[in-house]
């Protein structure tokens, strides 16, 4: 399963009772009422645990977390940065 | 009316005596026609809202028909009892003190709370204090986060962002306090054939700053339409002691001292009042910002936060929802019961 599918599945299972009707990859979680601010906390905890990344306070912005597409891009960037960091340290 | 052009803190100014008379008349009407109980129980916290609510109840119904309940627990501030005693004495009303630490102990509150804190700070225990703080919207936090702040016995303060699970555990445990207090308010209300007065002001009511079936539960909420600064205006006219009027709004819920603006609201109450009023009246952020010493972008962020809190807490206001509306057979006075409730 791709990263994007993983995140879609998490959103659909946790916030839509398994019914993904109408959820697009660029649907705004907040504007469309799919995920509220407590839900964003849940999403952040999931991302940190699932992908073993640390999300900093300044990264908690809608640009990173407000749609499946944004979350996917954000996590890909974080993982890439982690890889570069670990490569650079060798 | 040129509300937009004239927008200032003055818009919140009211005629206190007139408003007090209006509220008291309404309390009497509601008690006579809808609530049909003989008096009101008010939980006294030593804060401005419960003091004003108690004073209004006394003014509306007479002091013999109002009971003040003091319900401290081991984390309550020392001054709370002193201040609630002061307001009760000034109103000449009866009070009952119910120390709730024993009940909290028996439902496992202290253990559950400490266990949740230890998910982040394993060393947390005797001699430590803690509280929850919210992300700073005005400083640029676009999405809400909560932080756990702990103070060790040697006064070292540490702050850590709360992951979802411990956040829920801490809030769920802490909500015992408000729910146990409400249970006791209804116990005394039932034994006296009184009703319960709730004490939220408009900021709290609108923004969902209450616990469902805890401090959110009441039969009548006399100041829910008043912005906090208007509650202070009434307090002065009602003769609420100065020490209470000068006290910084506190949650008095956590073992570490915690201001309401630190836990929930983005700004101190007087600024928050103006932002909420501006938002309700569609006053542009550019006009509000200079009054608060903020940038328009910051006010815009507060506006967004107001909407976010309304969305997140909408469920707190919901009555129990039914699959189908119940037809009460055109019975008089039943229209207000369309979403649950037991017919009397």
Average pLDDT of the segment spanning B139-148: 87
Confidence of residue B181 (pLDDT cuts 50, 70, 90): very high
Domain parsing of chain A, residue ranges: 3-88
**ipTM score:** 0.89
Q: Which helix H or strand E contains B192, and what residues bound it?
A: helix B164-192
Q: Decide the pairing of beta strands B40-44 and B66-70.
A: parallel
B210-226 pLDDT tens trace = 999 999 999 999 999 99
- Residues of chain B with pLDDT > 70, as a percent, come to 92
Tell which CATH classification among 3.60.20.10, 3.40.50.620, 3.20.20.140, 3.30.450.20 matches the domain B9-107+168-317.
3.40.50.620
What is the reported pTM? 0.90
So what's the pLDDT on residue A88?
56
Domain parsing of chain B, residue ranges: 9-107+168-317
User: In this complex, do A40 and B142 lie within 8 Å of one another by their Cβ atoms?
Assistant: no
B12-57 pLDDT tens trace = 999 999 999 999 999 999 999 999 999 999 999 999 999 999 999 9
Average pLDDT of the segment spanning B67-94: 94
Both tokens of residue B263?
């836990």
Q: Which helix H or strand E contains B184, and what residues bound it?
A: helix B164-192
User: In this complex, do A60 and B142 lie within 8 Å of one another by their Cβ atoms?
Assistant: yes
Cβ–Cβ contact A30 with B under 8 A: yes
Confidence of residue A90 (pLDDT cuts 50, 70, 90): very low
Best interface-test mutation with B: which of A60, A64, A66, A70 has the largest number of B CBs within 10 A?
A60
Residues of B within an 8 Å Cβ radius of A: 135, 141-146, 161-165, 167, 308-309, 311-312
B297-314 pLDDT tens trace = 999 999 999 998 998 899
Per the DSSP assignment, residues forming a β-bridge with B44 are: B70
So what's the pLDDT on residue A84?
82
Tell which CATH classification among 3.30.1130.10, 2.60.420.10, 1.10.8.60, 1.10.1200.10 matches the domain A3-88.
1.10.1200.10
Which chain A residues have a beta carbon less than 8 Å from that of B167?
A: 41
Average pLDDT of the segment spanning B292-300: 94
Task: Give the span between the Cα atoms of B90 and B307, in whole angstroms.
Answer: 39
So what's the pLDDT on residue B343?
41
> Which has more confidence, A1 or B228?
B228
In chain B, what is the straight-line distance between the N-terminal and C-terminal CA atoms, in Å?
Answer: 45
- Residues of chain B with pLDDT > 90, as a percent, come to 78
Residue B161 has pLDDT above 70, yes or no: yes
Which chain B residues have a beta carbon less than 8 Å from that of A57?
A: 135, 141, 145, 161
Q: Alpha carbon of B92 to those of B66, B67, B68, B133: distances in Å?
A: 10, 10, 10, 37
Cβ–Cβ contact A50 with B under 8 A: no
Query: Ranked by mean pLDDT, which of B142-146, B255-259, B281-285 comes out on top?
Result: B281-285
Q: Please give the mean pLDDT across all residues of chain B.
A: 91
Average pLDDT of the segment spanning A4-17: 96
Q: Alpha carbon of B214 to those of B152, B184, B204: distances in Å?
A: 30, 11, 13
Alpha helices by DSSP H, B62-163: 78-91, 101-106, 109-118
User: In this complex, do B308 and A37 lie within 8 Å of one another by their Cβ atoms?
Assistant: yes
Q: Other CB atoms closer than 10 Å to residue A24's CB: what's the count?
A: 12
Candidate from A79-83, B44-48, B64-68, B254-258 with smallest mean pLDDT: B254-258
Both tokens of residue B174?
């802490």
Task: Give the span between the Cα atoms of B157 and B59, in whole angstroms.
Answer: 45
Cβ–Cβ contact A16 with B under 8 A: no
Residue B96 has pLDDT above 60, yes or no: yes
CA distance, residue B265 to nearest chain A CA (Å): 14
So what's the pLDDT on residue B138?
82
Nearest to B100 by CA among B217, B181, B179: B181
């Amino acid at each position: 399963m791709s990263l994007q599918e993983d995140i879609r599945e998490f959103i659909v299972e946790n916030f839509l009772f398994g019914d993904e009707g109408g959820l697009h990859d660029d649907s705004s979680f907040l504007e469309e009422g799919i995920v509220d601010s407590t839900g964003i906390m849940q999403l952040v905890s999931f991302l940190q645990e699932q992908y073993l990344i640390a999300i900093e306070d300044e990264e908690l912005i809608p640009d990173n977390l407000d749609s499946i597409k944004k979350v996917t891009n954000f996590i890909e960037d974080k993982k890439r940065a982690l890889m570069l960091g670990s490569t650079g340290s060798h | 009316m040129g509300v937009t052009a004239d927008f200032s803190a003055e818009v919140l100014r009211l005629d206190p005596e007139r408003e007090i008379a209006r509220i008291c008349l309404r309390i009497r009407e509601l008690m006579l026609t809808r609530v049909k109980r003989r008096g009101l129980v008010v939980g006294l916290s030593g804060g401005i809202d419960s003091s004003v609510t108690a004073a209004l109840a006394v003014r509306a119904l007479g002091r013999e028909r109002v009971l003040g309940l003091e319900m401290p627990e081991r984390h309550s501030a020392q001054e709370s009892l002193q201040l609630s005693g002061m307001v009760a004495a000034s109103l000449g009303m009866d009070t009952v003190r119910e120390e709730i630490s024993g009940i909290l102990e028996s439902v496992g509150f202290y253990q559950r709370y400490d266990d949740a804190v230890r998910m982040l700070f394993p060393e947390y225990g005797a001699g430590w204090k803690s509280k929850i703080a919210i992300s700073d919207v005005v400083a640029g936090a676009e999405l809400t986060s909560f932080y756990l702040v702990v103070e060790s016995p040697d006064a070292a303060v540490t702050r850590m962002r709360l992951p979802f699970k411990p956040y829920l555990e801490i809030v769920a445990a802490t909500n015992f306090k408000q729910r146990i207090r409400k249970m006791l308010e209804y116990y005394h209300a039932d034994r006296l054939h009184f009703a319960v007065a709730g004490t939220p002001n408009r900021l709290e009511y609108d923004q969902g700053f209450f616990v469902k079936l805890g401090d959110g539960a009441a039969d009548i909420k006399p100041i829910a339409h008043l912005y906090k600064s208007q509650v202070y205006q009434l307090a002065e006219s009602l003769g609420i002691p100065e020490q209470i009027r000068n006290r910084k709004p506190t949650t008095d819920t956590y073992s570490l001292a915690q201001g309401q603006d630190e836990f929930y609201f983005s700004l101190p109450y007087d600024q928050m009042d103006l932002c909420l009023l501006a938002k309700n009246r569609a006053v542009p952020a550019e006009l509000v910002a200079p009054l608060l010493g903020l940038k328009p972008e910051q006010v815009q962020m507060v506006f967004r936060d107001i909407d976010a809190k309304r969305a997140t807490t909408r469920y707190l206001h919901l009555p129990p929802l039914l699959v189908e509306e119940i037809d009460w057979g055109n019975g008089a006075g039943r229209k207000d019961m369309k979403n649950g409730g037991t017919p009397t």
